[in-house]
Amino acid sequence: MRFPDDYQEAHLLKRYKRFLADVQLPSGEVVTVHCPNTGAMTGCAEPGSRAWLQPAANPKAKYAWGWRFVETAHGLANIYSAGANALFAEAFGAGRLGAFAGYTTLRREVAYAGGESRADALLSGHPSARDCLVEVKSVTLCGENGVGYFPDTRSERGVKHITHLMRAMECEGLDAAQVFVIQHAGIDRVLPAAHIHPEYAEALHVAVTKGLHVVVLKAELDAGIYRIY
């Protein structure tokens, strides 16, 4: 996956109302852009930061630009959280995910837990393993010494996903994995953010003791290349 050829550099003025940000283009024009991230974006929304924008796919969209990347104090970050799902699917299709070797098929947005949740992916086709539900999370909260944390704000939805994955393992005969995709150049490893949401950290710990797989992948954001390695 590569940066779009038509991305536009800008300077961030402020992010607000979760889904909006004001930026200044090189021409001096100030425009409002869509921010595709519901988290706190700690360290990724500092006024004055260099940002990169992508034109809206729909010419009739309310906002002509979507914010995608930002230069932080610790390196480039992709703030498009949903992009983690596309990266995971692309890396799986290219056979780059050793943790999931043997699986041959990926289906996206699959209902489970009695329809109460939808998994980001369901992997199947493994000759000797159960089908595997996968939840994918984007990690951009960068701490000290290359440590990243998830979540960057309290996430009741994240706790619900873990609870439902455990239920699927225990009651539906499925395997399950929580995949953290690092989308920040300054992050090398990931820890649950117990200092932000201790209940999430505890839920993840309990799930791991009961068989939940935790996989950490990193996206390379360098020289125009954007991919899992």
pLDDT band at 178; cut points 50, 70, 90: very high
| Amino acid identity for residue 36 in this structure | P
Number of separate domains in the chain: 2
The string of pLDDT tens digits covering residues 15-66 is 999 999 999 999 999 999 999 999 999 999 999 999 999 999 898 999 999 9
Cα distance between residue 68 and residue 143, in whole Å:
21
Residue 126 covered by a domain: yes
Decide which of 28, 43, 78 is a domain's last residue: 78
Residue 181 covered by a domain: yes
Q: How many CB atoms lie within 10 A of CB 124?
A: 15
CATH number for the domain spanning 16: value is 2.40.50.580
Please tell me the pTM assigned to this model.
0.92
The string of pLDDT tens digits covering residues 95-145 is 999 999 999 999 999 998 888 889 999 999 999 999 999 999 999 999 999
107 with 195, same domain: the answer is yes
16 with 93, same domain: the answer is no
Residue 10, pLDDT above cutoff 50: yes
Q: Which residues pair with 96 in a beta bridge?
A: none
197 with 130, same domain: the answer is yes
Distances (CA, A) of 23 to 19, 26, 29, 71, 79: 13, 10, 8, 14, 15
Distances (CA, A) of 69 to 31, 45, 80, 99, 223: 16, 10, 7, 28, 14
Q: How many CB atoms lie within 10 A of CB 65?
A: 22
Residue 47 covered by a domain: yes
